[in-house]
Amino acid sequence: MEDWNVVATTRIGRFDEARKLLGKLGPVHRTGFYNVLVMRCDDVDRLLADLLALLPSGEAAVAHVRPARATFGFRTPEEFEELSRRVVLAWAPRVVGQRFHVRMHRRGFRGQLLSPHEEHVLDDELLDALGRAGEPGSLSFADPDAILAIDTVGDRAGLALWTRDDLHRYPFLGLD
């Protein structure tokens, strides 16, 4: 599926069960990556509410589900960096005065995209933009106010900005 905006990971040995469970919310597609599924939803907020009802605490088959609020395709690491930078900087006003960090879960482009490097570059870009605007923010990995999440599956990326409240409300996000 080329036009996904939701990435789900399954627990070991529970792939088919997780696929069937998530299929209650819409079409679910396999990827070429171990225990990784993708979906397309039209309303992320509705999906989040449906996931809360579908995935009660302790749900064993599904490890994580991360909807994206922005997606794009890319062909090269440079194109990924430019497009992800645009999205992250557009969200800068939402992290003014906040403690945040970027978290990337990469599938594909092995050896070409390095998650720690991309996280660091985007963290720095965002801090610089906030500083230039006179609106400080800071990096924090311990109980941040927000996490900017990036998931890649092959040559497609999905990004979302999650607040501390979101992280508590939606435990299935599994960002850190």
CA distance 107 to 104: 10
Amino acid letter, 104: M
CA distances from 158 to 31, 53, 54, 57, 145 (A): 15, 23, 22, 25, 20
Q: Dump pLDDT digits (tens) for 52-88.
A: 888 875 567 999 999 999 999 999 999 999 999 999 9
- Domains delineated in the chain: 6-67 (no CATH), 70-166 (3.30.2130.30)
**pLDDT value for 150:** 98
pLDDT of residue 58: 53
Using CA atoms of 150, 153, 155, 159 in order, give the dihedral in degrees to the nearest 10: -20
This prediction's pTM: 0.94
pLDDT of residue 176: 76
C-alpha span between 113 and 120 (Å, rounded): 12
The amino acid occupying position 121 is: V
Distance CA 162, CA 77 (A): 24
Q: Would you state the pLDDT for residue 60?
A: 77
pLDDT in tens, 117-169: 999 999 999 999 999 999 999 999 999 999 999 999 999 999 999 999 999 99
pLDDT 10s digits, 13-53: 999 999 999 999 999 999 999 999 999 999 999 999 999 88
